Amino acid sequence: MRLSLSTYEMELVRKQIGREPLESEWKVIDALWSEHCSYKSSKIFLRTFPTGGENVIMGIEDWQDAGAVDLGDGLALVLKVESHNHPSAIDPFNGAATGVGGIIRDIVSKGAKPIALLDMIRVGDLGSERNRWLLKGIISGIGFYGNSIGVPVVGGELSFDESYNDNPLVDVACAGIVKKDKIIPSVVKKSGLKLVLVGLTGIDGLGGASFASRKLSGEDEIGAVQIADPFAGKIIIDATLEVSDKVEAIKDLGGGGLAVAVTEMANGLGANIKLENVPLRVKEMTPEDIIVSETQERMLFAVEEGNVQSVCKSFEYYEYPCAVIGEITEDKIIRFTFEGKEIVSLPSELLLSPPLYMWGTSTERRGMKPRIAVEIGQAIRKVLTHPDMVSKEWAYSQFDYEVGISTVIKPGEADASLVKLPNGKFLALKGDANPELCLYNSYECGKAIFAEVYRNLATVGSIGVAAVDHLQFGDPRRPEVYQDFVNSVRGISEASKVLNVPIVGGKVSFYNENLRGEAIKPTPLIVMAGISEKFFRPKIDEDQYIVLLGITKDQLAGSLYHKLFGGEEETPNEILYEDLITSKFVTQLIREGKVEFVKDISKGGIIGSLWPIIVKGYSVSLNIDSIIGASRVESKLFSENGGRFILLTQNLEEIISRSRDNGIFSSQIGKVKGREKIGLSLNDKFLDLTEEVDKYYNFLEGMQ
């Protein structure tokens, strides 16, 4: 029996229940007390997040599967982010596919129809055959599941860093729509309700929650990975939405299987479960394995007795297993029995109250590199051909991003995706992380990634209304790792308050390390949703003026330039009010039709923001001296400090005047030129980038 429980925790259990738990009970406690399910090393700090707001219907509440905000017109948005990092490191296809299935069921469990998916993928150096195998499997798994069930993958990220060798990060977010008075809770408040399980239970995914709460060992742990079945997943979606008005609560069976789903749904009450009633995929499964199996495509419903037959009838129509396996009780004991024999009998309070930890921290500065001398033209070429800057069409072309005919801005077209809602408004979605910056200053990074996603939504005319976070780190018992975690939470919390975007849900993933025991770069990630009244599609054309909003600073640490060329550089200081003011100004310009193209300045600095124009076949003239703020040329071109946008417009004088009236520094820094040459003119010195554009489109073609 392999457990993630510490000796201290095991002794704590013995004292609380006054006896030695059975092996089956240890497995249940291990699942409930795992980092994956309990947040025992993070919950104290997560409580600092601002989770409320006038539009928040369901925020970060114990055991709720997703958050929800009011969109007006009687509609609510349900939003969630999850990951399947460890499973994808073992079996990338099924690991990624079941990650998609799990996040979709989280949305459906609120009674919401899933309308859009985002995938944020980070893998190691593509020079490694294993990393190429991982990436191919991850992309195939996401495409297989999403395409099969008809939920569009409308955007995401694909990033590369040797930090993710052995331990890729596979984040998936999902958005759904539901009538706001029809949202279903994940927990119950009264006893006597019948517990109805739909789907077959098998031997895949055994101990998955525990597996996700410890380091990768290199041993064969394939049995902890669930197997994807999107065709069964489609039945789950349709039938669950059909019966949602007949149930009191819905819980997706994810990490920890029945052990976690039953305990969390009971919400401090008790439950009696008869394991012989559980429909099985594999005959003669042991009772212990039935309890902790994480087989996918299953849901748990709490149902009034009079509605049980009606609920099961909807699933039986699809010949999908549906069975009453137990009921909610008053006695606050979680019991699992098998043919009359008691397998587990544990207090709800014990299972839902693991010890909470605050580990030691370290303020040691890390990551600074010696400077490599480089000429500006060479630096531009190196930055623009970095794998993070190349076309990701190879990946998103494998996803059906137009199913449902509601996707109006598709992957690769802008900084955020845009989906049309049933009420005629538009939902903007984006996910972002910046592990390079977090390595240098995780507090500033926490602020910066939240602000960047906020700016990304502004580039399509949208204001953020809700966010979810995923905090991904190494072993929290390492002082430098825990310091990064704590500081990133501080930064995210501060940005959420200043930008007035509540955090309605999230996830923490620790123990992300390679097989040599080295932690990944700290990778907190933010997914944000925004609402726009107007559809805006970016347009690039020659003779457009290039306007820079915001001040460029001599702050290069954590930038792509600094990653490549090093130096003792200053870390960007995110001034959140600059992001707030410039984003709202940009949104207003878009709504008035005053700009044709907007790009926030982030990875690659100003050069990176001009790159989408150049790869469309245009040349760009750039006057370096007109860039306000920074004193050094490399800072002017490559600094990634926040609060800035590139605009393409024909309304130059009006925008310059109005920006200054709004307290925003602005200047014309260049112009879009014709297609006779492809490249960049720096103070009239032309840099031909034809070869770099070819690499942009062809870098990943060998992955086919």
Return the structure tokens found at 512. 């992300």
Q: Mention every residue, 6+ apart, whose C-beta is less than 8 A from residue 521.
A: 161, 163, 435, 436, 438, 439
Residue in 84, 386, 470, 562 annotated catalytic: 84
To the question of whether residue 39 is assigned a binding role by annotation, the answer is: yes
Q: Are 199 and 287 in contact (CB under 8 A)?
A: no
To the question of whether residue 30 is assigned a binding role by annotation, the answer is: no
Count Cβ atoms below 10 Å from residue 702 Cβ, excluding itself: 9
To the question of whether residue 83 is assigned a binding role by annotation, the answer is: yes
Q: What is the Cα–Cα distance from 481 to 362, expressed in whole angstroms?
A: 8
Closest of 492, 497, 567 to residue 522, by C-alpha: 492
DSSP 539-592: ---TTPEEEEES-B-S--TTSHHHHHH-BSPPPP---HHHHHHHHHHHHHHHHH
To the question of whether residue 469 is assigned a binding role by annotation, the answer is: yes
To the question of whether residue 319 is assigned a binding role by annotation, the answer is: no
To the question of whether residue 472 is assigned a binding role by annotation, the answer is: no
Q: Are 96 and 170 in contact (CB under 8 A)?
A: yes
36 is catalytic: yes
Q: Are 30 and 351 in contact (CB under 8 A)?
A: no
Return the structure tokens found at 184. 């279903």
SS3 string of 214-279? CCCCCCCCHHHCCCCCHHHHHHHHHHHHHHHHHCCEEEECCCCHHHHHHHHHHCCCEEEEEHHHCC
To the question of whether residue 82 is assigned a binding role by annotation, the answer is: yes
To the question of whether residue 675 is assigned a binding role by annotation, the answer is: no
Q: How many helices (H) and strands (E) does the chain have?
A: 24, 26
Q: What is the Cα–Cα distance from 166 to 187, expressed in whole angstroms?
A: 37
To the question of whether residue 179 is assigned a binding role by annotation, the answer is: no
To the question of whether residue 477 is assigned a binding role by annotation, the answer is: no
To the question of whether residue 470 is assigned a binding role by annotation, the answer is: no
Tell me the chain's radius of gyration from C-alpha atoms: 26
* Start-to-end C-alpha separation, the chain: 41
To the question of whether residue 400 is assigned a binding role by annotation, the answer is: no
User: Around 285, how many Cα atoms within 13 Å sit in the side-chain half-sphere?
Assistant: 22
Instruction: Tell me whether residue 238 is exposed, middle or buried, using C-beta atoms within 10 angstroms of its C-beta: 0 to 12, 13 to 18, 19 or more.
Output: middle
**Which residues sit in the known binding site for substrate?**
83-86, 105, 226, 509
Binding site per annotation, positions for Mg(2+): 82, 106, 252
The residues that are catalytic are 36, 84
Provide the annotated binding site.
39, 80, 82-86, 105-106, 226, 252, 469, 506, 509
- List the binding residues for ATP: 39, 80, 469, 506
